[in-house]
Structure 1
Amino acid sequence: MIYFDNSATTRCADEAVDIMKKCLQEDFGNPSSLHSMGAKGKDYLKESRETIAGILKVQPKEIYFTSGGTEGNNLAIKGGAAAKKRRGNHIITTKIEHASVLNPVKALEKEGFEVTYLGTDEYGVISLDELKAALREDTILVSIMMVNNEIGAIQPIEEASKIIKGFNKDILFHVDSIQSFGKMKILPKKMGIDMLTVSGHKIHGPKGSGFIYINESIYNIMVPQILGGGHERGMRSGTENVPAIAALGVASKKAYDTLDENRNHMYAMRHRLIEGVSAIDGVSVNGHLDEQNAPHIVSVSIKGNRTRAQVILNALQDNYDIFVSAGSACSSNKPAISETLKSIGLEKDLLERTIRFSFCPENTLEEVDTAVKALQELVPMMTL
């Protein structure tokens, strides 16, 4: 089996599984309990919080654990908008955001907020000039993903922040970092990010784990979206998922201990795949072909009457035991035309004929070669 759908989810690392098992069966106390078993649970939270804070070079108290990217993005968007609604009602985001950003934004739009959706160039990158022109006196929140989950486009986050904060330092800047954490160095304070969201199962942690970084300067104004017993400094109530949080810390440390090695390996696989598939008639690659793109994602479009994404996906799975994606698995199983592919101006005929390969450090160059060979065999048969 060759698994090239790591942007949808990753295999949970052995170290993460081991610590989860220990927390589930041995150190299973509620971290809010006052006895020694509770203290052990609290220690796991403290260790993971400090590990993640060290990676991002922020304060541990600025890290809040969530159930994953969707919850984190909802907290950032809805909580941030509620925090600033007395000052204005204008929000800026992009057309290529994940549904866990776009849908909360659309919900706010129905409540009366005004939203500007930025487009992209042919590589999936926003225009800083368009961002600058979109800013208004009543703009209160900007949300831009760091790496697009479908084609791997990297957005100019630090440059965008300078424009936003230069216009008005009180505008909140949220960054969805779900596809970039573990793949690149991220320093929220240096980059001018107020809120940053991460999901654990994209970095070999467990599903149902994640965190949001919230700059301490806005802690007092942020409006929590889950109320209860005041866990996570009141920002996210509910008994903490200690096993998942402990595993998230372990997975985060592992990712950043070998960051450069992993990036080089994934870029090598990316370049090998692009070189191989580009030589096949009717096959094209979307986004930047060089290292201006993220290392782990390759978006491939295939011309032909019988090359719909689902057909290619099924053929690769059934005939070669290769698993890829027809788009963003996080959006549900319902087929939909990708806003990202439309935004980059992909010709209409290819919108439903695009598949995504996404790597992790565990993949190999030999697996890439096998995938290229499979497409070399499949594509000519499907384009007759």
Structure 2
Amino acid sequence: MERIYFDYAATSPVHPEVIEVVHDAMINHFGNASSIHHLGRDSRRMMDNAKKVFADSIGAKPNEIVLTSGGTESDNTAIIETAFAREKEGKHIVTTVIEHHAVLKPMDYLEKLGFEITYLSVDKYGMIDLEVLKEALREDTILVSIMYGNNEVGSLSAIKSIGEIIVESVSTAYFHTDAVQAYGLESIDVKKESIDLLSTSSHKISGPKGIGFLYINEAIHLPSFMLGGEQEMKRRAGTENIPAIVGFQKAVEIAQLTKESRRNEYDSFSHRLIQRLNDQKVDFEINGHPDSRLKHIINIWFKGVSSEKLLLLMDLSGLAISAGSACTAGNIDPSHVLIAMYGKESQRVKESVRISFGIDTTMKSIDYLVTELIKLTNKLKK
């Protein structure tokens, strides 16, 4: 049985060109980047080249890039270290109710330590009210953390407007955004969008797992989240993973070169999927914002169809889709994102699935996906 993957928002297969550079680095570039001999200098050169690629991709400077193990570490570092570094200035933080758990759990941790967290609600499209954000900002607000694009429904935040509001407010809050889903597909410019801290992860863009970066504006000085050596200019201890770093670099280079073509392709996939469902008179609605959204994610409410049962039957048909964040895989708890958007009692919470596209998605696979969706949703309704 052929297996077809539609869960790229959870993770993505590694691009063949990425595998090549990782393999080469493992064999030929194994020196410790902190060593002064030629093997160490070789690794340092490769790491510096990668940082320049990462920085250029978001309009930053290489010295503003801190290598991490991925999105979770980047989010935790940005939030927890900002809180500890600035608690004498204030203990108020603003975020939203639909953030990834890598943001929400650090917020919960800080609340237990006496920090005050304001959780902004969202509308049915997964968007915050910018006027409510303005009202939430105070003189003692030290951090605002709002994701660039939602990992479950794909809704894009008004990041530039949010950045402007923070800059113009009475607060001196840092602006952090979890850009894990948006990075590689959206055009991000940290300076133009007034972003102080930004999190990314390699494995979402067909790079290796276990590597990412945190952008930290050069005017900000945060202590190291990891304690040990003095790597990353004392901002992140631990021997740098050169094979993963150069693999991430290659994935970013490919993503930058193919960004527009992939956006157009993913858009055409969504249109085809929706058109065929409409042609077959399937009873469904799209969750999230209809226009301002990530092109590779589409979240669909199949009315009267259990998402849990649909996932199981789709898997038996060789199709991998999702009912929400990968970090809640195997968890029967309903999506906190859908609850925030539509209410706990809404049928959407138990009847919605997430489909996401990537490098191996084709129009042929989309057609097969739709055929199975039509067949299985009709079966489950009966």
Counterpart of 2:328 in structure 1 is 331
Q: What TM-score, normalized to structure 2?
A: 0.96
Deviation at residue 44 of structure 1 after TM alignment = 1.5
SS in 2 for 1:216: coil
| Contact residue 146 and residue 177 of structure 1 kept, 8 A | yes
**C-alpha contact 2:139 2:171 (8 A) present in aligned 1:** no
> What is residue 282 of structure 2 aligned with on the other side?
281
CA distance in 2, matches of 1:79, 1:359: 34
5 Å-filtered alignment, 1:189-268, equals 189-219=191-221, 222-268=222-268
1:314 aligns with 2:304: no
Contact 2:286-2:298 within 8 A present in 1 as well: yes
Q: CA deviation at 1:332?
A: 4.5
Structure 1 partner of 2:76 = 74
- The residue type paired with residue 320 of structure 2 is F
- The corresponding residue for 1:154 is 156
1:127 Cα deviation from its structure 2 partner: 0.9
Q: Which residue type is aligned with residue 101 of structure 2? A: A
Any conservation in 1 of the 2:178–2:199 contact (CA below 8 Å)?
yes
Offset at 1:169? 5.9
Out of 106, 109, 112, the residue aligned to residue 111 of structure 2 is 109
CA deviation string 1:71-120 (max 9, x = no partner): 00000000111121111110000000000000001100000000110111
What is the distance in 1 between the residues matched to 2:232 and 2:163?
Answer: 27
Q: CA offsets per residue over residues 155-208 of structure 1, 9 Å max, x none? A: 001101111111146211000000000111100011000000000000000110
The one-letter code sitting in structure 2 at the alignment partner of 1:133 is E
Alignment-derived partner of residue 65 in structure 2: 63
Name 2:356's counterpart in structure 1.
358
Letter in 2 for 1:8: A
Q: Distance in 1 between matches of 2:306 and 2:189?
A: 40
Cα contact 1:16–1:205 (8 A) shared by 2: yes
Distance 1:112 1:174 in 2: 20
CA distance 1:327–1:280, change in 2 (3 Å): farther
> Which one is further off, 4-13 or 364-373?
364-373
In the comparison of the two structures, how many residue pairs are matched? 378
**Contact kept? 2:180, 2:199, Cα under 8 Å:** yes
Q: Are the aligned partners of 1:274 and 1:298 in contact in 2 as well (CA < 8 Å)?
A: no
Q: What amino acid maps onto 1:349 in structure 2?
A: Q
Query: Aligned AA for 2:377?
Result: V
Letter matched to residue 223 of structure 1:
P
Consecutive unaligned residues in structure 2, runs of 5 or more: none
| Contact kept? 1:282, 1:302, Cα under 8 Å | yes
Deviation, structure 1 residue 330: 2.2
Deviations 1:283-307 (A, max 9, x none): 22111233x2110101011222xx3
* SS class of match (1:173): strand
Tell whether 2:36 aligns with 1:49.
no
Matched to 1:285, the amino acid is I
Task: Flag as ranges the 4+ runs of structure 1 deviating above 4 A.
Answer: none
Kindly provide the amino acid, as one letter, of the partner of residue 309 in structure 1.
S
Write the distance in 1 (CA, Å) between the matches of 2:23 and 2:342: 47
- Other structure's SS at 2:282 match: coil
Question: What RMSD, in angstroms, separates the aligned Cα atoms of the two structures?
Answer: 1.3
Confirm or deny: 8 A CA contact 2:155 2:293 kept in the other structure: yes
Shift in Å at residue 361 of structure 1? 3.6
Residue identity (%): 39
Residue range with higher mean Cα deviation, 199-208 or 10-19: 10-19
Query: Which residue in the other structure is 2:38 paired with?
Result: 36
**3-state SS, counterpart of residue 175 of structure 1:** strand
Summarize deviations over 1:222-278 as a string: whole Å, max 9, x none.
Answer: 122111111111111000111111100110011001111111111111122222334
TM-score by length of 1: 0.96
Per the TM alignment, residue 58 of structure 1 is displaced from its structure 2 partner at its CA by 1.2
3-state SS of 2:118 partner: strand
Q: What is the alpha-carbon distance in structure 1 between the residues aligned to residue 353 and residue 339 of structure 2?
A: 14
Partner of 1:125: 127
Q: CA deviation at 1:318?
A: 0.5
Could you tell me how far apart the structure 1 residues matched to 2:83 and 2:30 are? 37
Q: For residues 248 and 284 of structure 2, what CA distance do their matches in structure 1 show?
A: 38
CA–CA distance in 1 between the matches of 2:281 and 2:224?
51
Name the amino acid aligned to 2:233.
R
Pick which of 74-83 and 192-201 moved more: 74-83
Equivalent in the alignment of 1:379: 377
Counterpart for residue 181 of structure 2 = 179
Taking structure 1 as reference, are residues 237 and 84 closer, same or farther at Cα in structure 2, changes over 3 Å only?
same
1:373 is paired with a residue of what secondary structure?
helix
Mapped to 2, the partners of 1:24 and 1:82 lie a distance apart of 37
Distance in 2 of aligned mates of 1:130 and 1:109: 21
Does the Cα contact within 8 Å between 2:138 and 2:170 map onto a contact in 1?
no
